[in-house]
A and B are shown apart, each in its own frame.
Chain A
Amino acid sequence: MKREKPQSFNSVPIKERLTIPRQDMPEQDALLRSTNFLEVNLGFTPEQAVIEAQRCIECASPTCMDGCPVNIKIPDFIQLICKEDFVGAAEKIKEDNSLPAICGRVCPQETQCEQVCVVGKRFEPVAIGRLERFVADYAMEHGSDTTPVFQKPEPSGQKVAIVGSGPAGLAVASDLIKEGHEVTVFEALHEFGGVLVYGIPEFRLPKAILREEVANLETKGVKFIKNFIVGRTMTIQELMNDEGYDAVFLGLGAGLPRFMNIPGENLNGVYSANEFLTRSNLMRGYEFPEWDTPLYRAKHAIIVGGGNTAMDAVRTAKRLGADEASIVYRRSEEEMPARNEEIHHAKEEGVKFMNLVNPIEFIGDEQGSVVAAKCLRMELGEPDDSGRRRPIPMEGSEFVMDVDMVVIAVGNGSNPLISQTTPEIETNKWGNIVADDDGRTSMEGVFAGGDIVSGGATVILAMGAGRKSAAAISEYLKAKVGSVV
């Protein structure tokens, strides 16, 4: 079905639009920000947002929406920005994405909507992500008077338990509360947000924004319960049989960190990225001793890996006062899975990149603390299964460098808790839950999505999986009522 084109509010003649340069987002000075945990990006001004929105050429068949995992109506919200109806634009996004202030910050737009933007074929693509972020922030700040009041739907009389309050769980909660279901989110930790609170640093996603999004869902009627670990505090069967939940969504997130299985990995000062970032983000170790959780402040830190998590960790190490904080990555920068923006920001902040290097051993002192890393230099060979060129050790290239902290950021396995306590839910050989495209697991009424199904991925992909599951859960609940009557 062809979409109806949104009404145009763009006053700039088509021919002139391509002459407008892509607007730069103001950011904190690199030297200053490398010493604080405040947000790096400062966001567009309203004027910049309108200028950027006017760069959109209003394609007859826009491709940007297809590039978005949750199919946000991008052309529509851009026209509302041209009209300077910023709150309306935010509402338009929220029809498809309940967490725009978060996605506007952490989505890899350059490989999604912006990658397929028609303008981007010859010029720089419209800065869709920055626009999303701007209107979401604007609505948060100014929207309360003009935002339409949430109309509570007719109660369905059915209860859904959501396990995990990360991106997948929040997306499911947001969709199902609109359907009139009673929705309860269970969180094992003491704060809500999952990876958004323990994994992504304050300088990339301020926690206040997350808390506001959670509060919004609470206002709409979603119940949030913390310090509750499903599988242990109560099992899935107990939730369904004793507590009367009609359906359960498992958005457990990634699990145990992977290590490299090289000597010295259990030395003091060798962290998994999960631990290092959790100590800093969730536990506020960077404010020790004002906050109780300790965290190493290294002089020479290396972070092993090339993903966004590695960038978050290395930039955190730098902010904690490291003289030298380096990325050690076994391939070249071209193969790095991290977003360009993160790599660029890290470089600006003085992070060193040691590419084509792979550690083979960590060396400790008598107290068991890491003091050095033994590494090999690598070269790239033929492409491997991932399509990237395989790193091959160079003979005789071994070298040792002094380090007093190592963070291993090479991905996560899966949390074993559900397979330990609910064997009827099928898992694959990596321990990930097996689910179909709509999130159905092997146990009736139990759905799953996000990293626990896909393995480590992005916030928006987890939200996309959550939205698909939410639709399937709604369908399942309707059928259930039908079969009872």
Chain B
Amino acid sequence: MYKILKADFIAPNVKSFVIEAPLIAKKRQAGQFVMLRVHDKGERIPITIADSSSEEGWISIIVQGLGKTSAHMNTLEAGDHLQDLVGPLGLPTHIENWGTLVCISGGVGTAEALPIAAAGKAAGNRVISIIGARHKDLIIAENQMAELVDEVRISTDDGSAGRHGLVTDVLQDLMNEGITPDMIVAIGPLPMMAAVSNQTKEDGIPTMVSLNAIMVDGTGMCGACRATVGGKTVFVCVDGPEFDGHQVDFKELGMRQKMYKKQEAESHKCFLERQMKKLKAEQLAEGV
């Protein structure tokens, strides 16, 4: 069992967890992920490691409660335990001094971009962060990012913070200002990574994306996480998770991510019903 040391909501439905994991903390590098199971009948899900401390023996992850497992995870609090946790998995991010590195992130991807931004900065890059969200309340890790990088720019779909528009608009602004990135790392929802890759392809700017595929074992055995990159099938868990964004078949991956949409909805509904029953029972008990 793996103890949760801290658990705090950092945005609506988005929770940050600090988990005791001394061995993983000691080894993990930017870009790597863990597989976890919340309970003894749970599924295995991959989550990128956001931060860690080898001295204190913990890792942190950010979970957005979208489906059954993530919703269940987000009911856990400090002192609770995870059933299973294994890692660090996947190849670490390749970092070098490119010159100007632009980290583009959206949703919980911003927390996952932190270690890459930090490593990029440490390698001597000028690092610019572009953070995108639908609404200002959904922006996470902005302050942590600001401490790491040279400049942070924000975009929101509704204009509630930063530039009214998408991350690709901010990227265009940068280019218009004469800043040409030498390397772009995009982490976040698939459509965002696809849009960024599409835009930078024309300008020939190298773009790395961190793919979030469905996995079962996560260790190179089952082949669930396959994606098409450069016309070839790759396994995201051991060949990735980072790939050249210009080579990724985003359409196929998008469809593969929705493979269990129906089952996920069913599972989520069952979970919510059980939660509702529990709450009602608790209320009843309190009432008596």
In the complex, are the beta carbons of B219 and A227 less than 8 A apart?
Answer: no
In the complex, are the beta carbons of A294 and B260 less than 8 A apart?
Answer: yes
Of the stretches B99-107, B194-202, B220-228, the one at the interface is B220-228
Q: Which residues of A from 355 to 381 have beta carbons under 8 Å from B?
A: 367-369
Q: Which residues of B from 226 to 261 have beta carbons under 8 Å from A?
A: 226-228, 233, 235, 238-239, 252, 255-256, 258-260
In the complex, are the beta carbons of A275 and B222 less than 8 A apart?
Answer: yes
Task: Say whether chain B's binding surface is mostly helix, strand, loop, or mixed.
Answer: mixed
B69 at the interface (CB under 8 A from A): yes
Of the stretches A216-224, A283-291, A303-311, A437-445, the one at the interface is A283-291
In the complex, are the beta carbons of B226 and A293 less than 8 A apart?
Answer: no
Q: Which residues of A from 137 to 163 have beta carbons under 8 Å from B?
A: none
Residue with the highest number of chain B CB atoms closer than 10 Å, among A227, A271, A275: A227
Q: What separation, in Å, do the CA atoms of A293 and B259 have in the docked complex?
A: 13
B216 at the interface (CB under 8 A from A): yes
Q: Which residues of B from 29 to 48 have beta carbons under 8 Å from A?
A: 37, 41-44
Contacts of A287 in B (CB 8 A): 41
Q: What separation, in Å, do the CA atoms of A253 and B224 have in the docked complex?
A: 18
Contacts of B266 in A (CB 8 A): 289
Residue with the highest number of chain B CB atoms closer than 10 Å, among A283, A288, A294: A294
In the complex, are the beta carbons of B23 and A368 less than 8 A apart?
Answer: no
Q: Mark B196-213, 1 if CB is under 8 A from A, else 0.
A: 000000000000000000
Q: How far is the CB of A131 from chain B (nearest CB, A)?
A: 34
B68 at the interface (CB under 8 A from A): yes
With A266-B256, A274-B223, A415-B221: A292-B85 Cβ-Cβ less than 8 Å: no
A189 at the interface (CB under 8 A from B): yes
Picked from A198, A228, A229, A272, the residue with its CB within 8 Å of the CB of B89 is A229
A454 at the interface (CB under 8 A from B): no
Picked from B23, B27, B217, B238, the residue with its CB within 8 Å of the CB of A416 is B238
Picked from B41, B88, B264, the residue with its CB within 8 Å of the CB of A291 is B41
Q: What separation, in Å, do the CA atoms of A278 and B214 have in the docked complex?
A: 14
With A232-B27, A234-B27, A274-B221: A292-B86 Cβ-Cβ less than 8 Å: no
Q: How far is the CB of B101 from chain A (nearest CB, A)?
A: 25
> What band does the interface of chain A fall in when counting residues whose beta carbon is under 8 Å from B?
35 or more
Q: What separation, in Å, do the CA atoms of A257 and B266 have in the docked complex?
A: 29
A256 at the interface (CB under 8 A from B): yes
B276 at the interface (CB under 8 A from A): no
In the complex, are the beta carbons of B42 and A292 less than 8 A apart?
Answer: yes
A226 at the interface (CB under 8 A from B): yes
B13 at the interface (CB under 8 A from A): no
Nearest neighbor of A190 in chain B, beta-carbon distance: B84
B87 at the interface (CB under 8 A from A): yes
Contacts of A261 in B (CB 8 A): 233
Q: What separation, in Å, do the CA atoms of A198 and B223 have in the docked complex?
A: 14
Contacts of B235 in A (CB 8 A): 256
Q: What separation, in Å, do the CA atoms of A100 and B263 have in the docked complex?
A: 39
Q: What separation, in Å, do the CA atoms of A416 and B89 have in the docked complex?
A: 13
Q: What separation, in Å, do the CA atoms of A259 and B226 have in the docked complex?
A: 11
Q: Which residues of A from 289 to 337 have beta carbons under 8 Å from B?
A: 289-294
Q: How far is the CB of A307 from chain B (nearest CB, A)?
A: 17
B267 at the interface (CB under 8 A from A): yes
A251 at the interface (CB under 8 A from B): no
Q: How far is the CB of B113 from chain A (nearest CB, A)?
A: 22
Nearest neighbor of A416 in chain B, beta-carbon distance: B238
Residue with the highest number of chain A CB atoms closer than 10 Å, among B217, B221, B227: B221
In the complex, are the beta carbons of B220 and A293 less than 8 A apart?
Answer: no
In the complex, are the beta carbons of B255 and A368 less than 8 A apart?
Answer: yes
Contacts of B238 in A (CB 8 A): 256, 415-417, 420
Residue with the highest number of chain B CB atoms closer than 10 Å, among A253, A254, A257, A293: A293
Contacts of B226 in A (CB 8 A): 266
In the complex, are the beta carbons of B220 and A416 less than 8 A apart?
Answer: yes
Contacts of B263 in A (CB 8 A): 288-289, 294
8 pairs of A and B residues whose beta carbons are closest in the complex: A368-B255, A294-B263, A272-B223, A275-B222, A227-B86, A292-B43, A293-B43, A257-B223
Measuring CB to CB, which residues of chain A are less than 8 angstroms from any residue of chain B?
Answer: 188-190, 198, 226-229, 232-234, 253-257, 259, 261, 265-266, 268-269, 271-272, 274-275, 278-279, 283-284, 287-294, 367-369, 415-417, 420
List 8 A-B residue pairs with CB atoms under 8 Å apart, sorted by A's residue number: A190-B84, A256-B220, A275-B216, A275-B223, A283-B216, A369-B259, A416-B220, A420-B91
